[in-house]
Chain A
Amino acid sequence: MNLWICNILESIFLIGLAPLGGMALKKMKARLQNRRGPGFFQSYRDIAKLFSKEPILPNQASWIFRLAPYVIFIVTALAVLIVPVVLIPLPLSAAADVITLVGLLSIARFFTALGAMDTGTAFGGMGSSREMTLSALAEPAMLMGVFVLSMAAQSTDLSTMVAVMLKGNLGLQPSLVFALAAMLIVATAETGRIPVDNPATHLELTMVHEAMILEYSGRYLALIEWANQIKLLLFATLIINLFFPWGIAIEVSGASLLVGVMAWILKLLTLFGLLALMETTMAKMRIFRVPEVLGLAFLLAILGMLTHYILEVSV
């Protein structure tokens, strides 16, 4: 029972912290660019403002347009429930393994794209066409990347995978390096960061994700934005805990949980720092260069799997 409460509290912790996390990243980026950036709690104020506003719907919008934001938010929240953040033994983690996690993120994307197609604007069509094309390459790369880990851990259950990685008897295997490289590329694409997509722009020719949510307003927009911030934190957590799980709590006790939280925040800030550095130093890629990079991620992940088979299983 204790574990169940911890599981839910942990998810609420991550969901609640998501806007702050996104803002921390923005702040770091601003600092690197010699700007001051918005206040730390600006995201919360934005979300509160959007919730209190009257939503405006396009005339053509059908029920899918109105349902989509709720599905996106709740499915993302469910994905958070199954991912270990600061504590490994999660009872809900058994409800959906890592393949289902990819499936859940896929549902969120499916409904975002449907919402975009709903009004029949060229922007919506463009955004969902691009998003689905990119994700059609990113999703298999992600699946293959996590498969390398689940082969090594002999499980697709996220709690078990993290626990096996924490024991560390896998050593520094070459397949894991391939998988990590693939996952990093996929995470940038899936969360729509530079160099794949620029979250800060509404420039018509380059936008992908923003083009899809252009018609949303009010509480609908708030939910989608919030879900997006959760997704960013979720991917970061996934990479942190699968590849660098040091410090994560393995039992429910005040001390180990505190260590877990501290370690998570520290690793998260490091990862965000690197991301901010990358976003500052790189330019956005042309849209048709992105598939090459994602194809690279896919190949890296397959290579990781083959390496695992050939070098690591038979030994």
Chain B
Amino acid sequence: MISGIMGLLAAPIAITLPIGLPGLPGLPELPIHLRLDALAGFFLVVVGLLVAFVAIYSVGYIKSLQVGRSLTPLCVFMSLFILGMQGVVLADDSYAFMICWELMSVASYFLVVYEHEKEANHKAGFLYLLMAHLGGLLILSSFSILFVNGHSFEFAAMRTAVLTPFSASMVFLLAGLGFGMKAGLMPLHVWLPEAHPVAPSNASALMSGIMIKVAIYGFLRVVFDLVGLETSAWWWGGLVLAIGSSSVVGGVLFALQQHDLKRLLAYHSVENIGIIAIGIGLSMVFMHFGHPSLAALGLVAALYHTLNHALFKGLLFMGAGAVLHATHSSNMGDMGGLIRRMPITAALFLIGCLSISALPPFNGFVSEWLTFQAALMAPSLEGTPLSALIPFSAAMLALAGALTATCFIKVFGIVFQGTPRKPAAAEAHEVDRWMLMGMGGPALLCILLGLLPVYVIPLIAMVPKILIQNGQLESLVQNGWLWLTPISSERASYSPPIVMMAFILAGIIAFLMYRRGKPVRRAALWSCGHPHLNARMQYTATSFSQPLRHIFSDIYHPEEKNTRSDHGHHLLVKRVRYSVHIRDLVWDYLYIPIWHLMEWVVNGVGWLHKQRLQGYLTYIFVTLLVLMGFLI
């Protein structure tokens, strides 16, 4: 696998984090510039790490794909996709950046439609391509503003160019929209839950794990580096915070109602990108109001979550792929009891669930904890209008954290626990060694990053050092390897190893009791006297989330259908069918109105086309007159 080699190649480069490379010569007229600074290096680590693990996983996964379809497109486009992502991160001029960006988008389109016989995949692929190009166009526009001011495609020239506040804001808005579309922030996320589930699982692990992070990289590069936060307006950070908060809650609420495992995970990507956006937004707000060290804290929290999310989301998507491979279905209603058939996958998946649910001492908790700590510093803004927004964001983050835990209880409980709901799940078998190794790596890193953030954060803190003036973060790790102290040790501290000890202790005691304790007796489940319990009596994904559907029915607008048939009397029920369908809110309130607007505009413009030669000649005449008016 080429991707494997590339991933391994990327990893050693990535370790030399803060070194800048000189620009490479490229084409004669339009030289391609590459540069590796701390920001690029960090994202290269993220890309390289996950690519390496997915490559190991892919060795086993590809073997398990049904033969009969050529594997060449998968391998070729996967490699191009990875090349594109690494190119975007390394590019030092807008020209190379856009080429790599499009390479990434187009290659991933082919991955989405890899199983091209299915009609749904075409639809998802088209929607993805449409959004990717719209986003690409917006990014291109933002670069063109920068080009006009900097007179060069090179980032170095753009960086030194002085922008007027208006054009700086335009760049921010265009880049924010363009990159936000790729990242999947809440109103722009519609392609994400369609495209990620239909791609092969190793591709969706990469798309969800790192491609959307490359968009975060682009945003940081353009807004923090090229435009620079010195010229930022006060509302920039506020806007990012608001969008981030809406993504966080919206993503998790819709994730809760999914019954397709990969779709659920895709919605959780929306949520986690929202958490990253909250960190970035906090950083922008603090920077604008003159608190560089707090801005650095917000940025470190966002970047740490970027790394964490890449790992646990990659792990979860790979786990979903393993389950998919074992049960031939991605519908959670077909699964159950897999913990007995696939014990190692189950244990690794559980680590992913604990990490994404932000439970201590796993890695997701560390980054959310840092984000909360940054948010709690809001009083130092002293009465700016934004300071009311920050506690609101923190509240949304807290709500989303608790809902995520609910969602992953559902996922783990329905997929791995209980009894098998379909024969395929009862006959599932553990995946091969490659796939387990590919999942084991991120799982181990999830634990290590949760346990020893003190060693990782100084490396990440290199990034705010170059992006934010005076963005120093000495206090974070000054108290030795055991303690994480963002501002000062009186203010807050957290020691993951001590929390971890509790877990280890629980494990040891459980094991000792298992070996030495009073022997246990196995017995049939209590069934209230009913003679036969069967798998259909279990809670399902739909019933598990029913209370939340009821509580948030104003957001979901569930379309419920209850049909029943009986034996001639309404009490002699033969069969009851219940189905519920939930559409994404933004379709109804944002995209369909836009669609109607477009239709209206197009119809209006269509009226101009009279299909008569005289009419068109008149148009030409009028246009010429107007143009001549300009000449005079």
**A residues near B, CB below 8 A?**
54-62, 64, 66-67, 70-71, 73-75, 77-78, 92, 94-97, 99-100, 103-104, 106-107, 109-110, 113-114, 117-122, 124-126, 128-130, 132-133, 135-140, 143-144, 147, 150-151, 154-157, 160, 214-215, 218-219, 287-288, 291, 298, 301-302, 305-306, 309-310, 313-314
| Contact A117–B413 (Cβ < 8 Å) | yes
CB distance from A165 to the nearest CB of B (A): 15
| Contact B526–A74 (Cβ < 8 Å) | no
| Contact B417–A120 (Cβ < 8 Å) | yes
Q: Interface readout for B102-127 with A: 1 if CB under 8 Å, 0 if not?
A: 00000000000000000000000000
CB distance from A82 to the nearest CB of B (A): 9
Asked if B517 is an interface residue, CB under 8 A from chain A, the answer is: yes
Known: A54-B520, A99-B494, A124-B539. 15 other contacts (CB 8 A): A54-B518, A56-B520, A58-B522, A58-B526, A75-B503, A96-B494, A110-B357, A119-B418, A120-B535, A125-B539, A132-B405, A133-B551, A155-B491, A156-B492, A309-B379
Neighbouring A residues of B494 by C-beta, 8 Å: 95-97, 99-100
Question: With the chains together, A306 CA to B360 CA distance in Å?
Answer: 28
Asked if B2 is an interface residue, CB under 8 A from chain A, the answer is: no
Q: Which of A78, A104, A140 lies in contact with B399, CB distance below 8 A?
A: A140
CB distance from A105 to the nearest CB of B (A): 10
Given A97-B494, A125-B413: A302 touches B391 (CB 8 Å cut-off): yes
| Contact B402–A136 (Cβ < 8 Å) | yes
Asked if B600 is an interface residue, CB under 8 A from chain A, the answer is: no
| Contact A135–B417 (Cβ < 8 Å) | no
Write 29 A-B pairs (CB below 8 A) sorted by A numbering: A54-B518, A55-B521, A57-B520, A59-B525, A64-B350, A70-B506, A70-B509, A71-B506, A74-B503, A94-B495, A96-B360, A96-B499, A97-B493, A103-B360, A106-B405, A107-B359, A110-B357, A114-B409, A119-B525, A120-B525, A128-B409, A132-B409, A132-B410, A133-B547, A135-B405, A136-B406, A137-B551, A157-B491, A219-B517
Question: With the chains together, A70 CA to B502 CA distance in Å?
Answer: 10
- Least CB separation from B420: chain A residue: A120
- Least CB separation from A113: chain B residue: B409
- Least CB separation from B549: chain A residue: A133
Question: With the chains together, A122 CA to B418 CA distance in Å?
Answer: 10
Question: With the chains together, A75 CA to B506 CA distance in Å?
Answer: 8
Neighbouring A residues of B339 by C-beta, 8 Å: 62, 64
| Contact B502–A75 (Cβ < 8 Å) | yes
| Contact B417–A64 (Cβ < 8 Å) | yes
| Contact B413–A114 (Cβ < 8 Å) | yes
Please tell me which stretch of B66-74, B263-271, B381-389 contacts chain A, meaning at least 4 of its Cβ atoms lie within 8 angstroms of it.
B381-389
| Contact A132–B418 (Cβ < 8 Å) | no
| Contact B523–A118 (Cβ < 8 Å) | no
| Contact B403–A56 (Cβ < 8 Å) | no
Asked if B141 is an interface residue, CB under 8 A from chain A, the answer is: no
Asked if B100 is an interface residue, CB under 8 A from chain A, the answer is: no
Q: Which of B395, B502, B510 lies in contact with A298, CB distance below 8 A?
A: B395
Asked if B43 is an interface residue, CB under 8 A from chain A, the answer is: no
Query: Which 8 pairs show the lowest CB-CB distances between chains A and B?
Result: A125-B539, A120-B418, A117-B413, A140-B398, A132-B406, A139-B402, A314-B383, A133-B547
**B residues near A, CB below 8 A?**
336-337, 339-340, 350, 354, 357-360, 365, 369, 372-373, 376, 378-379, 382-383, 387-388, 391-392, 394-395, 398-399, 401-403, 405-406, 409-410, 412-414, 417-419, 483, 489-495, 498-499, 502-503, 505-507, 509-510, 513-514, 517-527, 533, 535, 537-539, 543-548, 550-551
CB distance from B32 to the nearest CB of A (A): 46
Q: Which of A94, A97, A125 lies in contact with B544, CB distance below 8 A?
A: A125
Given A94-B483, A219-B518: A309 touches B391 (CB 8 Å cut-off): yes
- Least CB separation from B350: chain A residue: A64
Neighbouring A residues of B545 by C-beta, 8 Å: 129
| Contact B547–A66 (Cβ < 8 Å) | no
| Contact B383–A302 (Cβ < 8 Å) | no
Neighbouring A residues of B365 by C-beta, 8 Å: 100, 103
Q: Which of A97, A117, A121, A124 lies in contact with B492, CB distance below 8 A?
A: A97
Given A110-B409, A132-B405, A313-B383: A215 touches B526 (CB 8 Å cut-off): yes
| Contact A144–B394 (Cβ < 8 Å) | yes
Neighbouring A residues of B521 by C-beta, 8 Å: 54-57
Question: With the chains together, A109 CA to B405 CA distance in Å?
Answer: 10
Neighbouring B residues of A291 by C-beta, 8 Å: 547, 551
Dominant secondary structure at the B interface: helix
Neighbouring A residues of B490 by C-beta, 8 Å: 155, 157, 160
| Contact A74–B505 (Cβ < 8 Å) | yes
- Least CB separation from A306: chain B residue: B388
Question: With the chains together, A150 CA to B494 CA distance in Å?
Answer: 15
Neighbouring A residues of B382 by C-beta, 8 Å: 313-314
Question: With the chains together, A126 CA to B376 CA distance in Å?
Answer: 36
| Contact A107–B406 (Cβ < 8 Å) | no
- Least CB separation from B537: chain A residue: A122
Question: With the chains together, A99 CA to B491 CA distance in Å?
Answer: 12
CB distance from B308 to the nearest CB of A (A): 15
Q: Which of A61, A77, A96 lies in contact with B495, CB distance below 8 A?
A: A96
| Contact B492–A128 (Cβ < 8 Å) | no
| Contact A122–B539 (Cβ < 8 Å) | yes
| Contact B547–A139 (Cβ < 8 Å) | no
Given A95-B494, A136-B403, A154-B491: A118 touches B418 (CB 8 Å cut-off): yes
CB distance from B485 to the nearest CB of A (A): 9
Interface centre among B406, B490, B526, B543 (most CB of A within 10 A): B406
Neighbouring B residues of A96 by C-beta, 8 Å: 360, 494-495, 498-499
Neighbouring B residues of A138 by C-beta, 8 Å: 402
Question: With the chains together, A219 CA to B521 CA distance in Å?
Answer: 13
| Contact B548–A100 (Cβ < 8 Å) | no
Given A57-B521, A155-B492: A67 touches B510 (CB 8 Å cut-off): yes
Question: With the chains together, A157 CA to B479 CA distance in Å?
Answer: 15
| Contact B491–A302 (Cβ < 8 Å) | no
| Contact B539–A107 (Cβ < 8 Å) | no
| Contact A95–B538 (Cβ < 8 Å) | no
- Least CB separation from A126: chain B residue: B539
| Contact B493–A67 (Cβ < 8 Å) | no
Neighbouring B residues of A60 by C-beta, 8 Å: 337, 418-419, 525
Q: Which of B336, B505, B524, B544 lies in contact with A129, CB distance below 8 A?
A: B544
Question: With the chains together, A60 CA to B527 CA distance in Å?
Answer: 13
| Contact A95–B499 (Cβ < 8 Å) | yes
| Contact A125–B360 (Cβ < 8 Å) | no
| Contact A151–B524 (Cβ < 8 Å) | no
